[in-house]
Amino acid sequence: MRSSVLFESAGERLLVDCGPDLRQQLLDAGSPMVDALLLTHDHADHSHGIDELRPIVQTRGEPLPFLARPDVIEQMKRRFAYAFVDLRYYAALYDPKAIENEFMVGDARVRVVDQPHGGITSLGLRFDKGGKSIAYAIDFNEITDTMATLYNGVDVWVADCLMLDPHPTHAHLDMVLDAAREFSVGQLLLTHMGNGMDYATLKARLPDWAAPAHDGLEVEF
Ligand SMILES: [Zn+2]
Ligand SMILES: [Zn+2]
């Protein structure tokens, strides 16, 4: 389970979440520069790589925009206060900004939606560019009407799929397969899979329009 993904459009890069293994992920990706960090929610598996962007911030020479819902910003400021303020010898790493429901990354249009995730919400995203679309729906356990509207008809839907059986805070296989059919997505990629999700078994079992995602996977339009 590697809970970080990098979106790039027209040379601009948005990193979504900073999981604990972010350092290795960035090295594997060739140490790309990042223009902003978006945090979907404050769970540890999405946020505790928060220190790993320090070299990028130092190279930029200014704090990295940190996009999230206001309650997530407040929670992260409480837990990682040093990362958001200038201290005597250390400049702030992040410049927090309450995320808009719609914004641009390069020439891609980005829209976000709040997804139920146990007692909290996580942000789901849809990117549109040149008539193509990809959506990233991490950490949800229920599909709201707003989510259904946003994800409807996307070319690629990357969806949370923790396990085979229902789970109180995450999506499971039948749930995302049913939703993908209902939304008429072009392709479904499963992510955030737990240890019980075997890659080869899933690949053999899934319809040809669905597949488990994997580390280092790149989707290009
Ligand atoms: Zn979570
Ligand atoms: Zn998670």
Give 162-208 as a 3 state SS string: CECCCCCCCCEHHHHHHHHHHHCCCEEEEECCCCCCCHHHHHHHCCC
What local confidence, expressed as pLDDT, does residue 2 receive? 65
- Span from the CA of 137 to the centroid of ligand 1 (angstroms): 11
**Structural domains of the chain, ranges and CATH numbers in brackets:** 1-99 (3.60.15.10), 100-214 (3.60.15.10)
For ligand 1, an ion, list residues with CB under 5 A: 43, 139
Q: Ligand 1 centre and the CA of 3: distance in Å?
A: 9
Listed in sequence order, the residues at least 6 apart from 210 whose beta carbon sits closer than 8 Å to its beta carbon are 177, 180, 187, 188, 189, 190
Per-residue pLDDT of the chain (221 residues; tens, 9 = 90+): 467 999 999 999 999 999 999 999 999 999 999 999 999 999 999 999 999 999 999 999 999 999 999 999 999 999 999 999 999 889 999 999 999 999 999 999 999 999 999 999 999 999 999 999 999 999 999 999 999 999 999 999 999 999 999 999 999 999 999 999 999 999 999 999 999 999 999 999 999 999 999 989 999 98
- Nearest ligand, CA 41: 1
What residue type is assigned to position 66 of the chain?
Answer: F
How much is the pTM? Answer: 0.96
pLDDT of amino acid 110: 98
Best CA proximity match to 68, nearest among 90, 84, 52: 84
Rounded distance from Cα 194 to ligand 2 centre (Å)? 10
**DSSP codes, the chain:** ----EEEEETTEEEEE---TTHHHHHHHTT----SEEE-S---HHHHTTGGGGHHHHHHHTSPEEEEE-HHHHHHHHHHTGGGTS--SS---SEEEEEPPSEEEETTEEEEEEEEEETTEEEEEEEEEETTEEEEEE-S-SS--HHHHHHHTT-SEEEEE--BSS--SSS-BHHHHHHHHHHHT-SEEEEES--TT--HHHHHHHS-TTEEE--TT-----
